[in-house]
Amino acid sequence: MKLQHEANAHINRKQNVFKKEFHELIHPLRTLLKDNLNNTIELDNSLLHLLEVELWAQRSVEIWGVK
pLDDT digits (tens, 9 = 90+) for 21-32: 999 999 999 999
DSSP state, 62? H
Print burial letters for 24-58: b (CB count within 10 Å at least 16), e (below 16).
eeeeeeeeeeeeeeeeeeeeeebeeeeeeeeeeee
Q: pLDDT tens across 43-60, in order? A: 999 999 999 999 999 999
Alpha-carbon distance of 65 to 67, in angstroms, equals 7
Q: The whole model's pTM is what? A: 0.82
Provide the number of structural domains found in the chain: 1
With a cut of 90, say whether residue 3 has pLDDT above it: no
- List the domain range (segments joined by +) for residue 28: 2-64
| CB-based contacts of 19, cutoff 8 Å, min separation 6 | 58, 61
Residue 14's CB: how many other CB atoms inside 10 A?
14
